[in-house]
Chains A and B, each alone.
Chain A
Amino acid sequence: MHQTTDATTSAVGFDHVFKAFVSQGRRGEPVLALQDVAFEARAGEFVSLVGPSGCGKSTCLNLLAGLDTPSDGTVSHRGSPVRGVNTAVGYITQDDNLLPWRSLRGNVELSLEFRGVPRRERRERAQELIDLVGLGGFEEHYPHELSGGMRKRGGIIRTLVYDSDVVLMDEPFGPLDAQTRVILQAELLKLWHRARPTVLFVTHDLVEAIALSDRILVFTANPGRVKREYTVDIPRPRDPFHIHDAPGFAELYDALWDDIRAEIGQAAR
């Protein structure tokens, strides 16, 4: 299922993308969410999108997933523009969106069912990932019987199970407590190393962005645009539990925070 993309081609491309939304109010005045967004992500690259709330980070992911269409410019995946719902990517939201009436196993197998993967293969592929994140023994549990961290693991592996070459993650660890977050960051890195998909990761947590990413894009406040990009040089494999001690962490953190603070000030005015 993996597309053979050599390292020079971009897995994801945003070419001068604009997006305007028409609000549901009586006026119907359109609001600009993205303004001239341009960036690329190479195959296998882990890219984080950070910036103030409402700066259009999630919109970028929705455009790439084909759930929204750009008002202008082109969003491309593997070199061709996204048209319609893009089922070739993985999409992970802040809510785990597990189907409450399906067991953990049933949820992990769901996307494979939609894709017509035969039963036996579904079982095997789901089981591999369930075991990998330590959820063995909970296969027949319903989501309401699992802890928040377990549900989140389930939500992630059920997206990774179909081995898409690009995975979009929209603040996946947002609602979790601080300890579970770090544990899940470590698990995510483990899963990422397994198949090395391109990841676009939206977060508000700068430490998380540094711990996980190859590159961090800082977005401006309304309308959203790429303000600056940072390369994270911390060598892999990384340990999210001790990322604070990594060389260069403090400088990077301060630089990111300065950038974002300026934007928050902007948004507040």
Chain B
Amino acid sequence: MTLTEPAVRHTDRARAVLHRVATDERRHRQRQRALVWLGTAVLGIALLLFWQFGLGLLVNPRYVSDPATVLARIGELLAGGELLAHLSVTLGEAGAGFLIGVVAGLVSAVALTSSRRGYEVFEPFLVAFYSIPKIALAPLFILWFGLGTTPKIVMAALLVYFIVLVNTATGLRGVQPGLFRVCRVFGASRRDLLVKVTLPAAVPAVVASIRITFTRAIEGAVLSEFVASTQGLGYLVARASRAFDIATVFAGIVVIAAVVMVANGLLRALESRLLPWHGGRVHG
């Protein structure tokens, strides 16, 4: 008695049917994809046209630049090298804060969840710190750490830290108990359980939190620059707005948005590369 499924043999007719269905499906998908692209393009152009011609009717046109001017200003800033200098400062602060926040968040989460009572002791404090609008701390950080990059890194790291900590701790605590029981009988040591069960099980939550927090790192850096700084994209925007240089304000905002989108795209690609076993996409 063999118990494997019998190999499927196709007749010519069946092969023809399969071929037709496959072709239809391919065509259908292409059409759907084209529709989505078209819709996206139409909406994008409509938004730009509204900005160019419509926005001035709603608010004081003196404070509304237009897409053409903003694009030209981005070009000027790029050519002058100013934009790249500010961008690299902000990215440096955000990147450093991000790395510190992620590493500290992961380590704290593993440490806290390794004992259940330990987590319960820390939890109310975590919730309290998590609830503080961190930007309210920015003036303090400036007083403590000066006008340089340090307060920006601290702010970025802090925003990242709590999100990574809470998400990772949730992931670590949410592992199916059955996995533990089976693996313990299989002979897993405490270390085996951590390395081969707990950590991998928490990976989706960790990766998702890492992706969403890169945006927060940039936010933290830019907002701190707003409060007080001498360089960075936040400084560029803040200085321009004080000088009523609206085109530059918009240029800065557009660049920040573009940077965040590119970073998100890269992290998303990395995420699906890192988690081939995860059937669905992880949502942050």
- Residue ranges of A at the interface with B (Cβ–Cβ < 8 Å): 65-67, 85-87, 89-91, 93, 95, 97, 99-102, 110-111, 113-115, 133-134, 142-144, 159, 162, 183, 186-187, 239, 241
Contact = CB atoms under 8 A, between A and B. Distances in A.
A67 B181 CA distance: 7
Given A93-B178, A101-B203, A114-B192, A86 B185 contact: yes
Contacts of B178: 93, 95, 97
B115 interface: no
Give 10 closest A-B pairs by Cβ, nearest first. Answer: A134-B4, A111-B186, A87-B187, A91-B185, A101-B277, A144-B279, A114-B187, A142-B277, A97-B182, A114-B188
A127 to B, nearest CB: 16
Nearest to B185: A91
Given A101-B200, A186-B1, A114 B279 contact: no
A20 B4 CA distance: 44
A241 B277 CA distance: 35
Interface string B163-185: 00000000000001011011111
Interface in B170-221: 176, 178-179, 181-189, 192, 196-197, 200-201, 203
A67 B277 CA distance: 29
B3 interface: yes
A93 B185 CA distance: 11
B179 A97 contact: yes
A38 to B, nearest CB: 24
Contacts of A111: 186-187
B51 to A, nearest CB: 45
B3 A114 contact: no
Contact of A114 (B4, B189, B276, B277): B189
A183 B277 CA distance: 28
Contacts of B275: 101
Given A99-B196, A114-B192, 19 more contacts: A65-B181, A66-B185, A67-B181, A85-B184, A86-B185, A89-B185, A97-B176, A97-B179, A97-B181, A97-B182, A99-B197, A100-B277, A100-B278, A101-B201, A114-B183, A115-B186, A134-B2, A134-B3, A142-B277
Contacts of A67: 181, 184-185
Given A101-B203, A134-B3, A142-B277, A91 B187 contact: no
B277 A102 contact: yes
A179 to B, nearest CB: 11
A66 B187 CA distance: 12
A91 B1 CA distance: 27
7 contacts: A66-B185, A67-B181, A91-B182, A97-B178, A100-B277, A144-B279, A186-B3
A165 B277 CA distance: 33
A182 B186 CA distance: 27
B187 A183 contact: no
Chain A facing B: main interface SS:
loop
B277 A85 contact: no
A173 to B, nearest CB: 14
Contacts of A91: 181-182, 185-186
Contacts of B176: 95, 97
With most chain A CB atoms within 10 A of its CB, the pick from B4, B203, B276 is: B4
Interface string B1-32: 11110000000000000000000000000000
B183 A110 contact: yes
B172 to A, nearest CB: 15
Given A142-B276, A186-B3, A99 B179 contact: yes
A110 B185 contact: no
A86 B187 CA distance: 8
Contacts of A65: 181, 185
A148 to B, nearest CB: 14
Contacts of A99: 179, 196-197, 200
Nearest to B197: A99
Given A67-B181, A142-B276, A110 B186 contact: yes
Contacts of B185: 65-67, 85-87, 89-91
A23 B112 CA distance: 26
A90 B185 CA distance: 7
Contacts of B189: 114
Nearest to A145: B279
Contacts of A133: 3
Interface string B251-284: 0000000000000000000000001111100000
B208 to A, nearest CB: 15
Contacts of B279: 144
Contacts of B186: 87, 91, 110-111, 114-115, 159, 162
B16 to A, nearest CB: 27
